[in-house]
Amino acid sequence: MHVDYLFKNGLVIDGSSGHAEPFIADIAVSGARILEIGTLEGLKADNVLDLEGQCICPGFIDAHSHSDFMVLADGRAEGKLCQGVTTEINGNCGLSAAPLLGPALQQRDQELNALGITERWATFEEYFSLVEKSRISLNLYTLAGHGNIRACVSGFQDRELTKDEVRLAAGLLEEALKQGAGGLSTGLIYPPGIYSSTDEIIALAAIAGRYGTVYTSHMRSEGAQLVESVKEVLRIGKEAQVNVHISHLKTSGEKNWNKLANVMQMIDDACHMGMKVTCDRYPYTASATDLDSILPGWVFEGGKSGELKTIEEHKQRIKAELTQEYLDPAYWGQIMISSVRTEKNSWMLGKRVSEIASIVQIDPSDLVLNLLLQEELDVGAIFFTMSDKNLETILKKKYTAIGSDSSARSFDGVTAAGMPHPRGFGSFPRVLGEFVRERGVLSLSEAVYKMTGLPASIFGLKDRGRLAKGFFADITVFFPDTIADRAEYCDPFKKPDGISHVFVNGMPAIRDGLVTGFMTGRVLRR
């Protein structure tokens, strides 16, 4: 028998469960799939890789990614590949690549232009075709974003959908699922998801349930209303009869850290009653999103143009509400500016809002509003508001998968801009280095399962997430004694240490620590 690649003497962590015992074995790869696992003496191979002292496991599945447009701008996705990621779950937080019709497309047009993407599409089928033609280094799986669907049928208006609009939304979701989307996601702090009722979401989530897919949610609150938000998600899952996945579960703001025990109990109780409830989390205590996410919800109505007009015309009212919401002046020291559009404000990157406000001698809330106007809302920020102890507790839960909550960037080119959160370059090595080797929060088997078999099960990925005969040869090889993240908040574009090989569909995307240039990723349809 002759094979393409033979991995010898590696410590196999197969991703089948968090309790699977690692074992020494050889793995043969032929074409895109794993041919055999065991003691493979006498097998002839074009390429033999001796992995003595290294771990071999399934390629990591990023359970929460935002590369929907980035993969068209730069399919190399080096920041993810170098972490050992071979598959991304995109379309999270209510934002997906499709459907894109009317107001939904208008809202994204500026972003697409900034990334140099000239093509336009309306459906997932059209989007998938473009991705396949452009070639990608990772496998791409995507959810259908409720924000896209709602914007397509009603724009960015602060109101309930009419019965006819709900039917249109349901039709768009069914079309997306039939074309290969893997479920429904919501982003309930972002427009237009912020305007939706629970009943509206139940009606759509029930469709995802009938198709045997999943409902994921960036909840309405991860701070003051955290408990109420978890109750809503669980209600949606129960009434819609759909599996529920909570995006980037966290407790934001020190005054809310003590709510985690209650939240965990609610989720555990739901699981004991037969619901399938899971979540994902990144291994950092800072989050990242658009700076305007801190504004009152009423400001977002009317899309970007409406929001800019509202900020300009109602500055004092917005400032008063911000002051009331964030009474502690220390809050502004927890926000770091990570990206802007214009060169004139690039000096702010890596600085906290309080520091910038002091430099220019302006009130922090005025600074935020002025900056949003100058940058036409295109301002990214990192928020240092979470508890390390709670992070450990969340990572330990058996239903927590690992997700970076980041887009796939490369180390040069159009996606190498700003100071994005280091989670886009270090999440998976950070789990294995800090939370396995250094802190002992997780065992190797537990950590690998949370990066492989668990997300594959949550999202229904067939023949991936495990090292098993007949499964696709998505493979990551690393040194357990040296694997570590190196990306920093003010210097995020750094490769991690300790990852030697990454194979995607049977081909080496990284060999001996170097990116090969092979682009063998696939669009994975439900």
pLDDT band of 306, cuts 50, 70, 90: very high
Span 307-326, mean pLDDT?
94
Supply angle C-alpha 140, 290, 162, rounded to 5.
Answer: 80
d(C-alpha 172, C-alpha 123), whole Å? 9
Confidence of residue 325 (pLDDT cuts 50, 70, 90): confident
Sign of the four-CA dihedral 102, 138, 449, 461: positive
Residue 393, domain member (yes or no): no
- Using omega within 30 degrees of 0 as the cis cutoff, is the peptide bond preceding 283 cis? no
In the predicted model, is pLDDT for residue 349 greater than 90?
Answer: yes
Helix (H, G, I), strand (E, B) or coil at 478: strand
- Alpha carbon 400 to its chain's center: 13
pLDDT, tens digit (0-9, with 9 covering 90-100), for 456-476: 999 999 999 999 999 999 999
Instruction: Decide if pLDDT at 328 tops 90.
Output: no
Q: What is the CATH number of the domain that holds 496?
A: 2.30.40.10
Phi and psi dihedrals of 33, rounded to 5?
Answer: -125, 165
**Residue 374 placed within a domain:** yes
DSSP 426-475: HHHHHIIIIIIIIT-SS-HHHHHHHHTHHHHHHHT-TT-SS--TTSB--E
Q: How far is CA 451 from the centre of its chain?
A: 13
Helix (H, G, I), strand (E, B) or coil at 54: coil
When pLDDT is cut at 50, 70 and 90, the band that residue 326 belongs to is confident
The pLDDT, as a whole number, for residue 42 is 87
pLDDT for res 82:
98
Mean pLDDT of the chain: 97
- Residue 260 pLDDT level (bands cut at 50, 70, 90): very high
User: Does the pLDDT at position 87 exceed 90?
Assistant: yes
Residue with tokens 């992995």: 51
Nearest of 45, 63, 3 to residue 465 by alpha carbon: 63
- Does some domain include residue 281? no
pLDDT(439) > 80: yes
Q: Whole-model pTM?
A: 0.97
> How many C-beta neighbours within 10 Å does residue 517 have?
9
Q: How many residues does the chain have?
A: 526
Read off the pLDDT of each residue in 307-312 and give the average, rounded to a whole number. Answer: 97
**Residue 359 belongs to some domain of the structure:** yes
* pLDDT value of position 58: 98
Asked which of 383, 412, 443 is the last residue of a domain, the reply is: 383
DSSP letter assigned to residue 65: B
Domain edge (last residue) among 383, 407, 439: 383
- Per the structure, the complete domain to which residue 303 belongs is given by 291-383
Are 187 and 95 in contact, with CB atoms under 8 Å apart?
yes
Asked if residue 1 has pLDDT above 80, the reply is no
Through-space distance between the first and last CA atoms of the chain, rounded to whole angstroms: 34
Identify whether the C-beta of residue 436 lies closer than 8 Å to the C-beta of residue 484: no
Over the stretch 503-514, which tens digit does the pLDDT of each residue have? 999 999 999 999
What average pLDDT does this structure show over 231-259?
Answer: 98
Cis peptide bond N-terminal to 192, omega within 30: yes
- Determine which helix (DSSP H) or strand (DSSP E) holds 279, and give its type and residue range: strand 277-281
Q: Would you say residue 327 has pLDDT above 90?
A: no
Rounded Cα–Cα distance for residues 82 and 499 (Å): 7
Count of the separate structural domains present in the chain: 2
Q: pLDDT tens digit string along 195-219?
A: 999 999 999 999 999 999 999 999 9
Within a domain: 322: yes
Which among 88, 104, 209, 102 is positioned nearest to 146, based on CA atoms? Answer: 104
Domain final residue pick, 335, 360, 383: 383
Establish if 235 belongs to a structural domain. Answer: no
CA–CA separation, 474 vs 261, rounded Å?
36
For the chain, give percent helix, strand, coil, nearest 5. 40, 20, 40
pLDDT of residue 329: 85
Question: What percent of the chain has pLDDT above 90?
Answer: 98
Give 27's contacts (C-beta < 8 A, 6+ positions apart). 6, 7, 10, 12, 34, 36, 37, 40, 56, 467, 475
Least confident of 175-189, 322-336, 395-409, 509-523: 322-336
Residue 440 inside a domain? The answer is no
Flag whether 6 is in a domain: yes
